Chain A
Amino acid sequence: MTDIDQLERSLVDAVASAADEAAIEAVRVSALGKKGSISEMLKTLGTMSPEERQVKGPAINGLKNRVTEALSSRKAELKDVAIAARLEAEKVDVTLPVRQSPAERGRIHPISQIIDEIAAIFGDLGFAIAEGPDVETDYYNFTALNFPEGHPAREMHDTFFFQPDEKGERKVLRTHTSPVQIRTMEIQKPPIRIVIPGKTYRQDSDATHSPMFHQVEGLVVDKTANVANMKWVLEEFCKAFFEVPSVKMRFRPSFFPFTEPSLEVDIQCDRSRPGEVRFGEGSDWMEILGCGMVHPNVLRAGGLDPDEYQGFAWGMGIDRIAMLKYGMPDLRAFFDADVRWLQHYGFRPLDMPTLFGGLSN
């Protein structure tokens, strides 16, 4: 065995037994450092005869290469081990729960969501959204809408009143969204196509009546709008709103002071499953809205000539159609702010009702 073989064996052993990067470095220095064993051996080449150098040169350089190789492969090996050990040490329990994102917790109230659904549908039909004040004058809430003073129809409204002012006039909480019809006609000439969502108030309270509730009113005024158009608009609305391919509706003559002719509308449905109403099927009729041709006196109150202009209007309860569509059993819960109810019946903040993406999902 030559010196070279001997040295190689001892270096290879040292490399193999190096347990960490520092030990490897020590082996490298001892072999390839300035005064390392191989470096020293290489220095002897200069003193050799050409013949000897021809033999020893490749042998020593071969040793150097093999040791260098052994060092680097051992180094890589040790690095892998070190990373593996670190990774093992860094392991966590990924089944631990993370916090819910705020958007997952937040909720939109069903009333707001329904108003957005209504806006999506009527926006497509070319309607604008109009609004008006909750505290109204007797004129806008009744007189301009053709409620004669003292007429039983006024009494049917169970109005909330404020104290009379110096002139003896008392404001009311609007009993319907219809005052906005007049307010709109006063500032806008036909054609008018508006829907009016908003809060309304009547002195009434049980599971299906609340002293505060929400209505959506619609008004179309132009020179041709008639009952046939009204039937079409309302059928299209109900289909779109309840998200069914067809609905069957029953228009019944009725009475409202502000429309003539007046109609009430029932929608065919199936109520055989408890807590659920299906539209477009079944054999029950459910009253859903009131409508009619705008009364000539109402057009006049809005500054329009009833022989030149004509139109139709309708009104329905937002809370009521919300209950029908989404199955809330009790109206009173709408206004209780019970977070369990809001969590269950409310809508996720990014669920925006659109016609292109569906009103609900």
Chain B
Amino acid sequence: MKFTLSWLKDHLETDATLAEIVERLTSIGLEVESVDDKAALKPFVIAKVLTAVQHPDADRLRVLSVDTGSGDPIQVVCGAPNARAGLIGAFAAPGTYVPGIDVTLGIGKIRGVESRGMMCSERELELSDEHNGIIELPEDAPVGTSFAAYAHLDDAVIDINLTPNRPDATSVHGIARDLAASGLGKLKYGAVEPVGGTGECPVKVKIEAPDLCPGFALRLVKGVKNGPSPKWMQQRLLAIGLRPINALVDITNYITFDHGRPLHVFDAAKVAGNLVVRRATAGEKVLALDGREYTLTAEMCVIADDNGVESIAGVMGGEHSGCDENTTDVLIESALWEPLNVARTGRALGIITDARYRFERGVDPEFMGAGLELATRMVMELCGGEPSREEITGYAPYKYRSVSFPFAEVKRLTGLDVPRATCLDILARLGFMPKGDGDVVEVIVPSWRPDVDGKADLVEEVMRIHGVDEITPKPLAGHDAVNGKILTSLQIRTRAARRALAVRGMMEAVTWSFIPAKHAELFGGGSERLKLANPIAADMSDMRPSLLPGLVAAAQRNADRGIGDVALFEVSGTYQDDMPEGQRRVAAGVRRGTAGLDGSGRHWAGNAGNVGVYDAKADAIAALEACGAPVERLQIEAGGPAWYHPGRSGTIKLGPKVVLGTFGEFHPRTLEEMDATGPLCGFEVFIDAVPEAKAKPTRTKPKLELSAFQAVKRDFAFVVERTVEAGTLMRAALGADKKLVTGVSVFDIFEGPSLGADKKSVAIEVSIQPFEKTLTDEDFEALGKRIVENVAKQTGGVLRT
């Protein structure tokens, strides 16, 4: 909402400075977004050319002697064809910034003749595109005074960032009312006297959609002369960014801003028959005032005559019946429109107008008639003409809302002590009508404040006018004990997983929750329920079923920038369906190129190898470990979801049912479809699936049992079928003696012709910890035998000889 300072002062009697007004506006909730105080035009003064002689060395230049009102005449070299003795124009002294040419003037020599300033054109002052000559002012223009003030160009423009709850402040009058209520001047009421008029309005209005049009006022003014509106009106409209059209149209725009009352004018000669307010028929078309043709739907409200649609109600008038300089009889419309319908229509058609802006917020119903009278008066004043009587249709007397207001609410909600009388005074100045004299009063809400319907709203009115700065910060009631844990298990795991993966040399990415449909489909997603109806871009359409596609794409973007060795992770949400439970908390990561745990690339001590399935597995287990998963009980199954390499991927389970994660290298087809290249491996762990640890009565750790007997290590090598999984073999060795065998590690895998086709050798180191006595050779032999037997039983393996 834009307005000028002088415009505001039409409604507000005040001595406040621009700065004071601006500060007050912001502090009462009318946030000033920008102020143009026209300071740029201040240095330009009115000056008179005393003499103009030909430049000695340039045909097109003249040397002027200029009276700027400050003593001695000043010499100026000027190239304008109209520069002549006696001309009065706008002068810029050296040091002045001239906006139209983006230059700060100095004293210069032009073709050898000194020039101490400049006589300006309109374009140089950015007033218009006129540049055929310098500005010419009337003979009585006062030399030596401010040009901007003389030309009324010094009217500061204030732009307010209006919140959607304040339709009353879509008008200069409403803004003045708020300022006056805050004590910054006196509101000029200027009640509108009805015009009266003679004869009935010949055009009748029939409202066929009363739910969309709660009132319609119309009047004919005959015999008007429509030309340009007066300069003062044009200047105000231009200042707020509106293009003057003609007097009739300018009046409607002016009143839209002056009183927040949008109006429409029809050229009566172009209206056929009576007007009907109705819903449009589906597919009905109208050529609107912006020159565009719109196709309407049956939900939209229109004003039609015998020719068809003449106006889109509350949004935009029609081109056909618009007013131009030939208009002699004008129909002035001041109507009420249902806000929601205006908002929907405007949105559906993509039309943003000052009328829509006001109607969708809600215009003052009680000003419908007054708006018509105000417009009629302005039309008569500026264009002449004979008004008919007004024709008011469908308007039921306004029912004022009443809010019960206990004064104690102000203190309860804000902490402010505002005396009862001050509260009443503030409300009254804003147009509220408090009734009663107890601790609770009934407050009648003015018709222009549709936003106020509860006592909290009245508290806000008192608070903002009394002053938010008056509220002294007060500590929140403290807690009288040491804080306990505030994070949930899931929050703790999320944080732990992040730090654990970062410690493994990975960088945390935050990628989009919505990904290309193709990527979603590749990773098991793409369901209709998770597709955005209005994505911001075609490749941001589907809620991600997995973090991996985003990370793979991110790794590839880095590779495309020349950084091929990257390790990225993310701990965030994925979406299985559109229910709250369908949002999983997942930790995932990818490694590309040679970005392994120990570093990437070439190194004198040994080059890093390509990343692979085991890197991903280690990351996955580290993340699970950080989340408190029982790592020693995890089961690794070969194979994973379809996006992985079937022979180089695994699934991490806890028991037969709980899947905690997957890991592996990616399927070549997945990478191809994503335009990504490897080496690339990744993992995903479902940190919300990790079972909650059992609540324990104490934090005491189990007793540490240290054996007095020496631990021993023994090596075994088994020849097994190539398909036998190392995990099975290790479990068999561990299971041979659950007490003595404390650990098994694999230290060599060998395949070769010497073993036979489809065979491999798995060498393990078994850690043995006696607890009761030192083991004898016989004990070791017996244990070794049990290990060999158990491995043979579980895997078919034989001891390698």
Contacts and interface: CB of A to CB of B under 8 A. Distances in A.
Interface of A: 96-103, 105-109, 111-112, 116, 119, 122-129, 131-135, 149-153, 155-156, 160-163, 165, 170-171, 173, 199, 201, 203-205, 211-212, 220, 222, 224-229, 231-233, 235, 251-255, 260-264, 293, 295-296, 306, 310, 334-340, 342-343, 346, 348-350, 352
Interface string B598-615: 110001110000000000
Q: Top 6 A-B pairs ranked by shortest CB distance? A: A253-B29, A228-B415, A102-B505, A349-B502, A255-B163, A261-B460
B529 A151 contact: no
B558 A254 contact: no
A128 B492 CA distance: 12
A19 B554 CA distance: 67
A162 B31 contact: no
B534 A161 contact: yes
Given A212-B514, A337-B554, 14 more contacts: A106-B503, A108-B508, A162-B533, A226-B413, A226-B414, A232-B474, A251-B469, A253-B464, A254-B31, A306-B456, A339-B566, A349-B503, A350-B499, A352-B499
B536 A335 contact: no
B463 A252 contact: no
Contact of A133 (B412, B490, B499, B580): B580
Contact of B573 (A199, A337, A348, A350): A199
B543 interface: yes
Interface string B470-504: 01111111110001001110110001001101111
Contacts of B726: none
B595 to A, nearest CB: 9
A252 B25 CA distance: 10
Contacts of B580: 132-133, 135
Given A134-B583, A160-B534, A150 B344 contact: yes
B473 A163 contact: no
Interface in B438-483: 454, 456-457, 459-460, 463-464, 468-469, 471-479, 483
B180 to A, nearest CB: 17
A129 B457 contact: no
B536 A205 contact: yes
Interface of B: 26-29, 31, 163-166, 339-340, 343-344, 347, 360-361, 412-416, 454, 456-457, 459-460, 463-464, 468-469, 471-479, 483, 486-488, 490-491, 495, 498-499, 501-514, 528-536, 540, 543, 551, 554-555, 557-558, 561, 563, 566-568, 571-573, 575, 578-580, 582-583, 597-599, 603-605
Contacts of A346: 507-508
A295 B579 CA distance: 27
A204 B508 CA distance: 24
Contact of A119 (B344, B475, B486, B512): B486
Nearest to A231: B473
B676 to A, nearest CB: 13
A157 to B, nearest CB: 11
B508 A126 contact: no
Contact of B463 (A153, A201, A261): A261
A227 B491 contact: no
Contacts of A126: 478-479, 483
Nearest to A235: B473
Nearest to B452: A260
A106 B474 contact: no
A74 B566 CA distance: 60
B361 A152 contact: yes
Given A128-B486, A227-B413, A135 B557 contact: no
B175 to A, nearest CB: 14
A342 B582 CA distance: 30
Contacts of B582: 135
A203 B534 CA distance: 8
Nearest to B561: A338
19 contacts: A105-B599, A126-B483, A131-B490, A133-B580, A134-B513, A134-B575, A150-B340, A152-B343, A171-B529, A199-B572, A226-B413, A227-B468, A227-B471, A228-B472, A251-B471, A296-B454, A337-B568, A340-B563, A346-B507
Nearest to A150: B340
A109 B494 CA distance: 13
Best-buried of B510, B533, B579, B583 by chain A (most CB within 10 Å) = B510
Contact of B412 (A226, A231, A263): A226
Contacts of B472: 228, 231
Contacts of A212: 512-514
B532 A160 contact: yes
B463 A227 contact: yes
Contacts of B561: 338
Nearest to B490: A131
Contacts of A252: 26-27, 29, 31, 468
B531 A253 contact: no
A116 B495 contact: yes
Contacts of B555: 337
Contacts of B567: 105
A341 to B, nearest CB: 9
B583 A260 contact: no
A285 B360 CA distance: 31
A156 B414 CA distance: 27
Provide the main secondary structure of the chain A interface: mixed
Contact of A111 (B510, B529, B579): B510
Best-buried of B468, B508, B554 by chain A (most CB within 10 Å) = B508
Contact of A152 (B164, B512, B528): B164
Nearest to A224: B477
Nearest to B415: A228
Contacts of A99: 598-599, 603, 605
Nearest to A101: B505
Contacts of B347: 155
A342 B513 contact: no
B450 to A, nearest CB: 11
B344 A254 contact: no
Contacts of B529: 162-163, 165, 171
A335 B508 contact: no
A170 B529 CA distance: 9
A229 B477 CA distance: 9
A109 B510 CA distance: 7
B519 to A, nearest CB: 15
Nearest to A352: B499
A105 B596 CA distance: 11
Nearest to B573: A134
B476 A109 contact: no
Nearest to A115: B495
B509 A342 contact: yes
B413 A293 contact: yes
A106 B504 contact: yes
Nearest to A311: B413
Contact of A151 (B164, B413, B456, B599): B164
Given A233-B476, A254-B163, A261-B459, A350 B413 contact: no
A123 B483 CA distance: 7
A125 B534 contact: no
A162 B530 CA distance: 7
A235 B486 CA distance: 22
A262 B514 CA distance: 32
A260 B361 CA distance: 18
A155 B343 contact: yes
Nearest to A251: B468
Given A132-B580, A228-B471, A253-B468, A334 B535 contact: no
B471 A231 contact: yes
Given A132-B580, A254-B163, A296-B456, A335 B511 contact: yes
A222 B468 CA distance: 22
Best-buried of A96, A205, A339 by chain B (most CB within 10 Å) = A339
Contacts of B507: 105-107, 109, 337, 339, 342-343, 346
B532 A173 contact: yes
Contacts of A103: 502-503, 505
B476 A163 contact: no
Contacts of A119: 486-487
